[in-house]
Amino acid sequence: MPNFNIGLSALRSSQFALQVVSNNIANANTEGYHRRQVDMKTVPPNLVAGHRIGNGVDISNIRRIEDKITEATLTGVTSDVSFVEESLGIQRKIESALLAGDNPLGGTLDEFLAEFKSLSANPNEPAQREAVLQSAQQFAEALRNASEQLNSLKQTVRLQVDHEVENVNREFVELSDLSVVIAQFKAQGVEHNNELDDRDALLNRLAEAIGLHRSEQFDGTLNLTIGRHSMQQGNHENVVSVGGSPDKIEIFMDERESPLTVDNGRMGALVKAYNETIPEIEEKLDRLANEFINTINQIQGTGIGAAGGFQNLISNKAVSSSSDPLSTAITDAALEPGDLTIGLTDANGNRQLYTLTINPDVDSLDDIAATISSLPGLNAAVNSATGKLQITSVAGTKFDFAGGIDTQPDLSLVTGTSVATLGGTYNDSTNETYTFQIEGTGTVGQSSNLFVNVLDSGGGLVEKINLGEGYEPGTDIELPNGVTFAFDAGTLNNADQFSSTFVGDPDQVNLTSALQLNSFFTGTNARTIHVADQLLQDPTKLASGRTGAPSDTSNLPRFIDVYEAPLMPGNRSFSSYTDEIATGIGFEIKANEQLSDSLGAYKLRLQDERDSKSAVDLNEELVYMQQYQKQYEAAVRVIQATDNILNELFSILR
């Protein structure tokens, strides 16, 4: 007896297969869609007249075509690409902050230091002093702008992290819901290909966001990890949260006490930028600013402007406690044990030097103020409200920290009537004591064989100079170090002598820069650097010299030498260190651009590999459509033939 079931099964199977093919064609351009393929199997045969005859065809499975290894690799590479691209965006913003505007950081630094050369050529030109201060303001502004932009970028990154966490948690809920549905369908033996497509797309979005990695077992079990942490699957959705401190972001998952290692995806790049990249640049800018402030302030503080010394001076920096050791109260300056020399100049121009020995690990600012107050004509105190040191001198007397020469040496060992005076400008950077020893006895400017031997601190002869016949009493004689001396009319006796200390390093403690006494800059870092108000209000206080004379430029070479001084880490100059900050981030950008291109090409290749197997090929689907269409038509013919046979049979019986 003919069997209708064979034809009907062929009809149903081909119709079913045509629907699957049609669905493939309809989703040919659907993102994340994986091609479906119909798997058919023969229906178990019946035994008829000793022969096993088939019973038709049935649908065994609608198979989702995928390459699990390629899919897993692509998810990982997606994380890498997302990390690099997000890092690049942040690095470009950092570079923009360093090079922003018409006054990039390195350019303003070079211009500022170059203005001192122009000032040395025109020391009496007020406009040139203004130019120095204007260029200093531009440099300080460039530093502040860079610091402010980096801080703003850091806050933006923090907001982005919060936004990413919110999105990731929302997608974790979606992933959990999908996992439950997939598990239910699997338990029921129901096809769940659409849910698998949705899950793959979701996993790739999570990989872009938080650096997720996946691996799938042959039994379909999916293992998901973020950093070194595995994720739970099922009806419990994972939750990430942001913790840490204002200076450091930490990401936590679920109830774990240890932070999550997020080193990939957009969030990995954001966390690294917040915790490492931006703070490293900020630290470099702050180091540059702090070292530059202290260096320039030390030169300014140990010099004298055209306005001369001070009768009243207040430090620009306050201390946290005036009773604590200075090194504890001030932590952003390189304080050292040593001598501090204070010069006092009276109304007649006579100058005396006083040396204080200070140990910042022991002495407090109150101690230092008391020591200064013990000097004749000076009073010092720490303002309890502001924490700042104030020094004042008696009327007719000015003080400074420029060192130099004591113009009235101690002549107690000179028994003659001639009086020696010292002057000039000491041009050495060290402190040196000279002894002036008389050889011979006689009258200055008249006697023969009357000399003065100038000896250095080691007893070595610097010069032997005639003071007898041929010397005009009161005439200045200049020594190689710029010091001048003169003997007025009178007598000198053999072995008469006096000594004088010439101070080229008046502040071995670095107290003037630490307290910002007579400072050029105020502030301690890139965010707070400004040109001192007293300089902007009175440019004559710019310490171009060390004597107070209007035409004195003896301090300008110290400013000029800062340009090439190897004061920064690695024996770099300020200029090269500044340039390396910008070029360093530039090199990182270039390296990441190359890495991005490489990873992008690898990702495209993986996508091509995936699509070659999983994507819908319309030409191929049309071939399948024709194949199943012919199968359908043939199945109809089978049914028609079976119907005709049965009709013939029934007609005979009738």
Q: Which residues contact 302 (CB under 8 A, 6 or more apart)?
A: 401, 402, 403, 506, 507, 512, 543, 546, 555
Contact, 288 vs 108, CB < 8 A? no
Contact, 96 vs 281, CB < 8 A? no
Name residues of the chain where pLDDT drops below 70.
Answer: 1-3, 100-103, 217-220, 232-235, 654
Kindly write down the DSSP assignment for every residue of 328-396, as one continuous string: HH--SS---SEEEEEEEE-TT--EEEEEEEE-TTT-BHHHHHHHHHTSTTEEEEE-TTT--EEEEE-TT
Neighbours of 429 (CB within 10 A): 10
Helix (H) or strand (E) holding 249: strand 248-253
Neighbours of 132 (CB within 10 A): 24
Neighbours of 36 (CB within 10 A): 21
Strand-pairing partners, residue 249, are: 244
Return the residue matching tokens 């997939």: 182
Strand, helix or coil for residue 160: helix
Rg for the chain, CA atoms, rounded: 44
Q: 72 vs 301, 416, 650, CA distance in Å?
A: 65, 101, 63
Kindly write down the DSSP assignment for every residue of 18-59, as one continuous string: HHHHHHHHHTTT-TT---EEEEEEEPPPEEETTEEE---EEE
What are 563-572's contacts with CB under 8 Å, separation 24+?
563/110, 563/113, 563/114, 565/295, 567/291, 567/295, 568/287, 568/288, 568/291, 569/287
Give the end-to-end CA distance of the chain in Å, rounded to a whole number. Answer: 17
Strand, helix or coil for residue 534: helix
Kindly write down the DSSP assignment for every residue of 385-437, as one continuous string: TT--EEEEE-TT-EEES--B--SS---TT--SS--EEEEE----SSEEEEEEE
Q: Which residues contact 627 (CB under 8 A, 6 or more apart)?
A: none
Contact, 39 vs 13, CB < 8 A? no
Q: 317 vs 126, 128, 140, 521, CA distance in Å?
A: 28, 28, 17, 10
Strand-pairing partners, residue 357, are: 339
Contact, 158 vs 147, CB < 8 A? no
Q: What pLDDT digit, counting tens, does each position of 257-286 carry?
A: 889 889 899 999 999 999 999 999 999 999
Give the CB-side neighbour count of residue 97, counting CA atoms within 13 A.
25
| pLDDT number for residue 475 | 96
| pLDDT number for residue 90 | 97
Token pair of 288 as six digits: 């540059």
Question: What's the CA gap between 339 and 337, in Å, rounded?
Answer: 7
Ordered by start, the domain boundaries in the chain are: 4-64+616-653, 70-285+581-605, 311-403+506-517, 420-503
Classify 311-403+506-517 by CATH class: mainly beta
Helix (H) or strand (E) holding 271: helix 265-272
Strand-pairing partners, residue 453, are: 437, 464
Q: Which residues contact 221 (CB under 8 A, 6 or more apart)?
A: none
| pLDDT number for residue 311 | 96
| pLDDT number for residue 102 | 59
The dihedral sign for the CA sequence 303, 308, 312, 314: negative
What's the chain's length in residues? 654
| pLDDT number for residue 2 | 56
Question: What's the CA gap between 273 and 158, in Å, rounded?
Answer: 10
